[in-house]
């Protein structure tokens, strides 16, 4: 069994990885952590430096996630892509043919009280209506089963 996890090192991605480890431990799957770095909008030196910084951070997060999975007794690999996260994750599923793709729902403010949660809900709905989201994009297009884990 091969499980692909969209992984950016965020709190929600780490929680999703931990949930996958707990849920699928008895299946002994290969975990493939996929991180995506957005391409800079222009080729200025400043944007190139920001892109390189993001690239290094995502690579570090992937290495830490793989180390965690291996420490839990899983086989694990990493894949670092560059471009639009939605399209790169879809392309990765087509290339690697996982049995399951796991993503964590994005949250702008993962911790907080009722006001913060209400604001997060509003912002998430606004994002969905105006820009779409990675999870909704993949739910419509992925050719493998998709597990979307909610943020706590």
pLDDT digits (tens, 9 = 90+) for 61-82: 999 999 999 999 999 999 999 9
Domain count, the chain: 1
How many residues belong to the chain? 152
Please count the other Cβ atoms lying within 10 Å of the Cβ belonging to residue 149.
20
pLDDT given for residue 132 in this prediction? 45
For residue 93, give the CATH number of its domain.
3.40.50.620
The pLDDT of 147-151, averaged and rounded, is 85
C-beta separation of 80 from 35 below 8 A? yes
Q: Which 3 state secondary structure label does DSSP give 93?
A: helix
Which pair of tokens denotes residue 78?
């990493």
pLDDT given for residue 51 in this prediction? 84
Quote the percentage of the chain above a pLDDT of 90.
Answer: 61
Please count the other Cβ atoms lying within 10 Å of the Cβ belonging to residue 68.
17
The pLDDT of 111-128, averaged and rounded, is 54
pTM over 0.75: yes
Q: Which domain range does residue 16 map to?
A: 2-149
CA-nearest of 112, 103, 106 to 138 is 103
pLDDT given for residue 125 in this prediction? 57
CA separation for the pair 20, 16 (Å, rounded) = 6
């Amino acid at each position: 069994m091969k499980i692909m996890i969209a992984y950016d090192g965020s709190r929600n991605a780490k929680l999703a990885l931990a949930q996958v480890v707990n849920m699928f431990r008895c299946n002994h799957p290969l975990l493939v952590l996929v991180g995506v770095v957005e391409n800079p909008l222009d080729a200025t030196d400043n944007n190139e430096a920001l892109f390189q910084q993001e690239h290094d951070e995502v690579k570090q997060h992937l290495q830490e996630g793989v180390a965690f999975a291996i420490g839990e007794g899983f086989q694990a690999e990493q894949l670092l892509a560059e471009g639009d996260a939605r399209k790169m994750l879809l392309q990765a599923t087509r290339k690697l043919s996982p049995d399951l793709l796991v993503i964590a729902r994005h949250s702008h403010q993962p911790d907080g009280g009722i006001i913060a949660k209400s604001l997060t809900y509003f912002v998430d709905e606004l994002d969905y209506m105006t820009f779409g989201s990675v999870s909704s994009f993949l739910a419509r297009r992925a050719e493998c089963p998709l597990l979307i884990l909610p943020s706590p």
